[in-house]
Structure 1
Amino acid sequence: MSDIAAALVKELREKTGAGMMDCKKALMENDRDMEASVDWLRTQGLAAAAKKASRTASEGLVAVKSNGAKGVLVELNAETDFVARNDGFQDFVEALADVAIDGDGDVENLKSSDFPGDEGTVADALTNMISTIGENMDLRRSAMIEVGDGVVSTYMHNTVKPGLGKIGVLVGLESTGDKDQLDALGKQLAMHVAAANPQALTRDDVDPELLTREKNILSEQARDSGKPEEIIEKMVEGRLRKYFEEICLVDQTFVIDGETRVGKLLEASAGDVGAPIVIKGFVRFSLGEGVEKVEEDFAAEVAAVAGGS
């Protein structure tokens, strides 16, 4: 098997979507003939995944996992919510999180990581899952937060089972204080992030292009009032403060009590924890966000099938 060129395996895999080991076997069975190997994989039912790759995958599950000082999020998309309720699919997503916790958060590195058992890489196992279940799937993204002295807390919304659901959050907190108290605060902050969906940690972290665009919009709106420039400048400053309060985590009002700024909450919680607290970072995955969902027209689908018969 080792005498099959890697480039040849890669080419066959790209043509068929089949797993790496299956592609190697196909090439060996067919004396490295590419077209014959494609046909062989098709007859074995191993090239089916490639046919499904064009179908939109916007359902699925988000997985979250933490070992204390390190946490990961993984999103695996499928075509239907029905598949997301499949025990085999859920077990697979849990296994992905188990692999991801030992990685660096990069989704491409995750795909090339070894998958438990004898299925080869994560990408190979995913191809086999696609062939088995019969839907297109996409290991869309992963993320990781790691802290030195502190905790990475998690929260999952719309949970289907522990660690699996529709909105997953990681919050990394650094502090030399009591870790149990720190994690309790971290879980509350993770719930806040799930609900408030902040776009940045602090004002300094806001995308400069986004900030410039917002300033321009606010300036034009203020000029429409016909007020002098010095008044307009103050109006823009006031509206920018409100903008930051909407999108920056430390400036947001804590959703659990409805009145305390998150930044002030950290200061107040330092007494309970026994040391100052710093938010190292946060990540929020909402299932399918940014994926264009295809609206199915059942009547049109039936008509298309009838027309083709």
Structure 2
Amino acid sequence: MTEITAKQVADLRKATGAGMMDAKRALEESGGDAGRAKDILREKGLASAKKRTGRATDQGSIGSYLHLQADRPVIGVLVELASETDFVAKSPEFQAAANDIAMHIAASRPRWIRREEVPEAVLTEERGFAAAQARNEGKPEKVIDKIVEGRIEKFYQDAVLYDQTFVNPEKFAGTVGEMVEAMAAQMGENIMVSRMARIGVGEAE
């Protein structure tokens, strides 16, 4: 069996938010391959998340962030991070995560929380723009659909909170959705971002 070092476990925990024993078991199962270990944890986290789906999230905490410029607030964010129990919602880790997500929203300006919230009309328009651009660039017609879907994927990564890469990789290396998923797996509860609001001085809505 491949010997797993404490540093490997620590690095995997930092990247995924997994518990120590879960990270160690995933590394052992993957033979020390960090990439495969992440996949194993993600698969297990997804399985756990499916079991939790549908359970009420009527507890939670409000995260907030104010961005200062010349000693005055110019960007403000409120975000509701929902949980099943107040026990989890009161934990320092949960409240810190809510504030971290608020900070991310301030920096990355997501328009929606999840992909399914994006209006179909917006996606239709984006697909039209992407197809027209590809044709203007002289791309063969047979690859247009593939190019369009690639650009829609990029659109999701830019505009949807859960698809955005978390802005502080020192705290979590992955998307916001993966970070929330890792928290849910670690705490054993259904956890989700349910609402968000961002206001910036002089910015159009």
Aligning the two structures, in what range does the TM-score lie when normalised by the shorter sequence? 0.5 to 0.7
Show the counterpart of 1:204: 116
Q: Is the 8 A contact 1:173 1:280 kept in 2?
A: yes
Query: Within the alignment, does 1:151 sit opposite 2:65 as a pair?
Result: no
Show the counterpart of 2:105: 193
Give 1:83-232 correspondences, 5 Å limit. Answer: 148-158=58-68, 165-177=73-85, 178-179=88-89, 180=91, 181-232=93-144
Q: Distance in 2 between matches of 1:199 and 1:284?
A: 9
Q: Distance in 1 between matches of 2:99 and 2:70?
A: 18
| Greater relative contact order (Cα < 8 A, sep 6+) | 2
- The superposition leaves residues 174-233 of structure 1 with CA deviations (integer Å, 9 ceiling, x where unpaired) of 112512222111100000000001111122222433322221110011112434433110
Q: Is the 8 A contact 1:182 1:273 kept in 2?
A: no
1:157 Cα deviation after fit: 0.9
**Alignment equivalent of 2:146, drawn from 234, 250, 253:** 234
Q: Distance in 2 between matches of 1:208 and 1:272?
A: 34
Q: Is the 8 A contact 1:201 1:248 kept in 2?
A: yes
Q: Is the 8 A contact 2:80 2:193 kept in 1?
A: yes
Show the counterpart of 1:296: none
- Aligned-residue RMSD, C-alpha: 2.4
Q: Distance in 2 between matches of 1:286 and 1:273?
A: 33
SS of the equivalent of 1:166 reads strand
Show the counterpart of 1:267: 181
SS of the equivalent of 2:113 reads coil
Specify whether residues 259 and 229 from structure 1 end up closer, same or farther in structure 2 by C-alpha distance, changes over 3 A only.
farther
TM-score when normalising by structure 2: 0.62
Q: Distance in 1 between matches of 2:109 and 2:127?
A: 21
Where does structure 1 differ by over 6 angstroms across 4 or more consecutive aligned residues?
Answer: none
Letter matched to residue 279 of structure 1: V
Query: Within the alignment, does 1:289 sit opposite 2:199 as a pair?
Result: no
Q: Is the 8 A contact 2:134 2:147 kept in 1?
A: yes
Q: Is the 8 A contact 1:166 1:287 kept in 2?
A: yes
- Where does the alignment leave 5 or more consecutive residues of structure 1 unmatched? 1-146, 292-309
SS of the equivalent of 2:190 reads coil
1:248 Cα deviation after fit: 0.5
TM-score when normalising by structure 1: 0.42
Specify whether residues 268 and 276 from structure 1 end up closer, same or farther in structure 2 by C-alpha distance, changes over 3 A only.
same
Letter matched to residue 73 of structure 2: G
Q: Distance in 1 between matches of 2:130 and 2:186?
A: 41
Q: Is the 8 A contact 1:201 1:249 kept in 2?
A: yes
Show the counterpart of 1:255: 167
What is the aligned residue count?
143
